[in-house]
């Protein structure tokens, strides 16, 4: 993929729109991938050979500390009056 001729606001990987910075949708059966926010379009062939890796990390049981009401108002969340 050659973005040298394209005047864009961002320099990024193919995961993000070079015009507005939004996350691009995954390539599908269409010939192009279009940004939902600004309409930027890129040929789906530019995604050939790209490897997507994901990982999920779980916290160990018992490591999360429950919030108590004694920690102060900043940890209690918003207050909504009941009418």
- pTM for this model (two decimals): 0.48
Question: In this structure, is residue 34 part of a structural domain?
Answer: yes
In a domain, residue 77? The reply is: no
Is 36 domain-assigned? yes
Structural domain boundaries, residue 40: 9-49
18-67: pLDDT as tens digits: 888 898 888 888 899 999 999 999 898 888 887 777 788 888 887 766 65
Domain-embedded: residue 13: yes
Whether 64 is covered by a domain: the verdict is no
pLDDT tens digits along 7-16? 566 666 778 8
* Beta-bridge partners for 16: 23
pLDDT of the residue at 21? 87
Q: Give the Cα separation of 17 and 11 in Å (integer).
A: 9
Domain count, the chain: 1
In the 3-class helix/strand/coil scheme, how is the chain assigned residue by residue?
CCCCCCCCCCCCCCCECCCCCCECCCCCCCCEEECCCCCCEEEHHHHCCCCCCCCCCCCCCCCCCCCCHHHCHHHCCCCCCCC
Selection from 30, 28, 32, 29 nearest residue 17 by Cα: 32
Within a domain: 70: no
């Amino acid at each position: 993929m050659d973005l040298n001729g394209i005047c864009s606001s961002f320099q990024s990987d193919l995961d993000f729109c070079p015009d507005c910075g939004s996350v691009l949708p995954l390539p599908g059966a269409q010939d192009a991938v279009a940004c939902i926010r600004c309409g930027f379009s890129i040929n789906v062939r530019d995604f050939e050979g790209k490897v997507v890796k994901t990982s999920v990390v779980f916290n160990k049981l018992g490591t999360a500390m429950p919030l108590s009401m004694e920690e102060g108002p900043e940890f209690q969340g918003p207050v909504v009056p009941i009418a």
